[in-house]
Amino acid sequence: MPERDRGLSVASLSVRFGGIAALEGVDLVVDPGEIVGLVGPNGAGKTTLINCAGGQLVQSSGSVSLGGESLDGLPPFRRARRGVARTFQRIAVFPELTVREHLFIAARARRRSGARWSELVDRGRPDTDESDEIAATLELVGLADRADAAVATLPLGACRLVELGRALIGRPTVVLADEPSSGLDARERATLATVLRTLPAQGIGVLLVEHDLPLVSLVCDRVVVLHLGRVIAEGPFQAVMADPAVRRAYLGQVA
């Protein structure tokens, strides 16, 4: 695949926090329409990698690009406009706003150049394009019947889908999802898996950070394992999980 057609590319990424190397020379690619699982024990550097890709954190060295163009130095909202969206490990929603309002704000923020908060919320109603996009996204994440419910009234699983829906507004090239199944019950996980599996057909790539390995095995095309800031294995789920280095890394966490 030529570089310009590729999705997210992380090259030789290193991050140091004082004396700790949270990431060390990490390479990773997520192509459009591909779901890549990023797994590894606690403290492996998964959130740090997502933060560097999303622009919430500046790496110590290495680079992040999308479609062959560097994202380095761009703030999160500019990366979002280029096609990199994300969700957060700790849910970040506004309790009083409805599902539809969350998507409206996201749609407007993605399109308007003056991204001041007042311009986003002070105004009015979605235009036709925004309404269409909101309706399509509500369908996509299965929240059409709860569109006008305040998020505070929804169970956690639905809140996570609101976050995912917000990330999907504008049809990003890649979504960075940081533990989207955390706190969900079995039914909510199944819904999440169903939604994730619809994304590749729309050309959306996903970098899925997840502790729930059955979910990873169900939805991911490929898995990358991080341990102590380095990639220790990558490939199809079964092969990677059978790798002795991966088994040792996970055992180390339990011991």
Ligand X SMILES: Nc1ncnc2c1ncn2[C@@H]1O[C@H](COP(=O)(O)OP(=O)(O)O)[C@@H](O)[C@H]1O
How many Å apart are CA 43 and CA 226, to the nearest integer?
A: 9
Helix (H, G, I), strand (E, B) or coil at 204: coil
Nearest residue to Mg ion by CB is 47
Our CB check for Mg ion shows the closer of 46 and 166 to be: 46
The answer to whether the beta carbons of residues 207 and 38 sit under 8 Å apart is yes
Member of 10, 32, 37, 46 binding ligand X (CB under 6 A): 46
Token digits for 51?
A: 């933060």
The answer to whether the beta carbons of residues 120 and 177 sit under 8 Å apart is no
Per-residue binding string, Mg ion, 36-65, x by CB under 5 A, is ----------xx------------------
CB atoms within 10 A of CB 136: 15
Alpha-carbon dihedral sign for residues 98, 101, 107, 111? negative
How is the beta sheet containing 84-87 ordered, strand by strand? 84-87, 174-178, 205-209, 35-39, 222-227, 230-235
Member of 43, 76, 183, 200 binding ligand X (CB under 6 A): 43
How many Å apart are CA 107 and CA 110, to the nearest integer?
A: 5
Our CB check for ligand X shows the closer of 48 and 181 to be: 48
Site for ligand X contains 86 (CB under 6 A): no
Alpha-carbon distances, residue 241 vs 54, 65, 85 (angstroms): 27, 28, 28
Member of 48, 87, 173, 181 binding ligand X (CB under 6 A): 48
Site for ligand X contains 9 (CB under 6 A): no
Size of the site for ligand X (CB under 6 A): 11
Angle subtended at Cα 31 by Cα 77 and Cα 182, rounded to the nearest 5 degrees: 65
Our CB check for ligand X shows the closer of 47 and 59 to be: 47
Per-residue binding string, ligand X, 11-40, x by CB under 6 A, is ------x--x-x-----------------x
Our CB check for Mg ion shows the closer of 143 and 215 to be: 215
Question: Which of 204, 47, 54 has its CA nearest to residue 137?
Answer: 204
Site for ligand X contains 77 (CB under 6 A): no
Site for ligand X contains 58 (CB under 6 A): no
**Which of Mg ion, ligand X, none sits in contact with 44, Cβ below 5 to 8 A by type?**
ligand X
Per-residue binding string, ligand X, 156-195, x by CB under 6 A, is ----------------------------------------
Q: Which residues bind Mg ion (CB under 5 A)?
A: 46-47
Q: Which residues bind ligand X (CB under 6 A)?
A: 17, 20, 22, 40, 42-48
